Structure 1
């Protein structure tokens, strides 16, 4: 069963959520996990990609778009399709991706933006009503 973690930040802007996604991806990468980041749309994916390249001045987080052939440990896509991934999912979509249960671990990222709070609360209720193990941490 998928282990689901909600990570909450006191920051109140959309870019803070993208930076948090970079932090989670970096930590997962260090542990050897393959990461799939489900972006809300192509615009968000285009905003996240340069952050992954420049997240830390002395390093970068190698990634690719889902349908690119170049291998990379981090893949960016949308709620529509995750390819063959099944290790770690970072959900930046408002809705729960249909494929979430094939992943070993899922992260929902919470920032203090009204629409993000509403969607992550709804996602918490969705997972809880289906009996998934949930954890909540403030960082």
Structure 2
């Protein structure tokens, strides 16, 4: 029984149904697209996960990530976030991770992104400030008295 049918039949939400919903939310945030999308040519509706899956199959993470972000993101972090979101959307609830695993994986994504931003900030600072660049790059050690 799929998620919608199980909820409709029982009226009970479970951790695994919450995980599914959270996976949908992560895809909405990463892509900045609605859950139900419409193909303009055929007027057919399809779920965001179908669109993401097609792009994942051809390895096109740049088309999945919100275009407003452009090139300003860590590819590994983006892949990891999309992969964990897709795991959350597994049709069989037993195959979905628990929220602790989801949080752990997304924390790793955040750490990758923070590391990239720190590296970029350090590089920018070195380029714009030759005095600090020279100081950092030199071997300066204190002398004992």
Q: Normalising TM by the smaller chain, what interval?
A: under 0.3
Which has the larger share of helix? 2
Which has the larger share of strand? 1
TM value normalised by structure 1: 0.27
Larger-gyration structure (1/2): 2
Question: With CA pairs under 8 Å and 6+ residues apart, which has the higher RCO, 1 or 2?
Answer: 1
